[in-house]
Structure 1
């Protein structure tokens, strides 16, 4: 009986943690989008200058700044490159978040920007949303965690018993 209750507790805990995944993914997506908009705004003026003087080639603008005799312009070449690189990183992050919920979850786990992920986790508030995707995440994670933990415990029991099964109890002992 205790084992059944422990299973239920494990299942419930995994369910409650699992329903957090869609909210966390959503918060991360919103942060990426906000950072991307900010980065695009920051590079916008330089792109306009590149369009006006270098047929839209921002690398030519950066090279022009780098070749300048003015140390301020040479320093700004590095700043523009950093802005451009950050914008490209955020665009790749945003594209990685355009798939299904499973693809988004995989992206957040495996390819998320570490700074934005940390920022998201620091600002995340636990929530229970009742949407179909949230319910699926919760139930799926509960089944997976419960299956893995119980499988691990059964495997450990099998190893401890030396690969032998316990003899079945006779009917009068039950």
Structure 2
């Protein structure tokens, strides 16, 4: 009986952990989108200047600033270049997050931007979403956790007994 309750507890823990995955992915996506919009807004004035004087080429604007003898312009060139690099990173993150769910999930859980992942984790509030994707994640994680833990315990028991099975007593003798 105790073993059955442990199975239920494992299954429930797996279900609750799995239900968090879609919520975390949504939060991460929203954070990326917010940073992307902010970086676009930060570049807007420089893009206008590049359109007027350099046919919209921001790199030409940066080169022009760098070639100036004025240290203020040189410093601004570094600032603009930093904004461009940051914007490019957010654009790449956003493009990945527009892909298929498996690629998006793998990216967020494994290869996401460490800074954004940490920001998302720090601001994440546990939630239980009741949509098909969340339920599929929850049930999958629950079954996987229960299967792995029970298999591991059975393997440990088998090793502890030296690979022998308990002899079944025959009650009819």
TM-score, length of structure 1 as denominator length: 0.92
Superposition pairs of residues 118-137 of structure 1, within 5 angstroms: 118-137=118-137
Following TM superposition, by how much is the alpha carbon of 1:169 offset from its aligned partner in structure 2, in angstroms?
A: 2.3
Q: Write the deviation string for residues 115-149 of structure 1: whole angstroms up to 9, x where unpaired.
A: 11111111111111111111001001111111111
**2:41 — aligned with what?**
41
Question: What SS class does the counterpart of residue 56 from structure 1 fall into?
Answer: coil
**2:5 — aligned with what?**
5
**1:170 — aligned with what?**
169
Q: Write the deviation string for residues 57-107 of structure 1: whole angstroms up to 9, x where unpaired.
A: 211111111111110110111111110000010011111111233322211
**1:157 — aligned with what?**
157
Following TM superposition, by how much is the alpha carbon of 1:158 offset from its aligned partner in structure 2, in angstroms?
A: 2.5
Question: 1:168 & 1:123 partners in 2: Cα distance?
Answer: 55
**2:55 — aligned with what?**
55
**Structure 1 residues 14-23 or 112-121, which shifts more?**
112-121
Following TM superposition, by how much is the alpha carbon of 1:11 offset from its aligned partner in structure 2, in angstroms?
A: 0.4
Question: 1:165 & 1:8 partners in 2: Cα distance?
Answer: 28
How many residues get paired? 172
**1:75 — aligned with what?**
75
Question: 1:99 & 1:171 partners in 2: Cα distance?
Answer: 61
Superposition pairs of residues 92-107 of structure 1, within 5 angstroms: 92-107=92-107
Following TM superposition, by how much is the alpha carbon of 1:171 offset from its aligned partner in structure 2, in angstroms?
A: 4.2
TM-align CA RMSD: 1.6
1:15 aligns with 2:10: no
Question: 1:3 & 1:61 partners in 2: Cα distance?
Answer: 69
**Structure 1 residues 16-25 or 103-112, which shifts more?**
103-112
Question: 2:18 & 2:7 partners in 1: Cα distance?
Answer: 16
Following TM superposition, by how much is the alpha carbon of 1:166 offset from its aligned partner in structure 2, in angstroms?
A: 1.7
Give structure 2 stretches of 5+ with no counterpart. Answer: none
